[in-house]
Amino acid sequence: KASRNWAHCRVLIIDEVSMLGSLLFTKLARIGAALRGVPTAFGGLQPVLFGDFYQLPRRALVAFSVPSLCHLS
């Protein structure tokens, strides 16, 4: 059922992004690509992030510079 949910989504909404570490963020991007069969981050889903970005620790910002995600604009 989870695979089917990923396949039918168009947008991935993540609330409280400051609680999400860079490792989990990267894993979600790769899981989405694998389950949707699309070789782009999140399988082509548009991620929408909510939360207080001023609460992000400096190391969490590494998630936005992981090589597999650098092609996102």
* 53 DSSP 8-state letter: G
- Phi/psi region, residue 44 (left: phi>0; alpha: psi -120 to 50; beta: rest), is left
Radius of gyration of the chain (CA): 12
Report residue 52 as tokens.
């207080």
pLDDT in tens, 20-36: 878 888 898 999 899 99
Report residue 24 as tokens.
């989990």
44: helix, strand or coil: helix
pLDDT at position 56, please? 61
pLDDT in tens, 14-70: 888 878 878 888 898 999 899 998 888 898 899 998 887 676 665 555 555 445 544
pLDDT category at 2 given cuts 50, 70, 90 is: confident
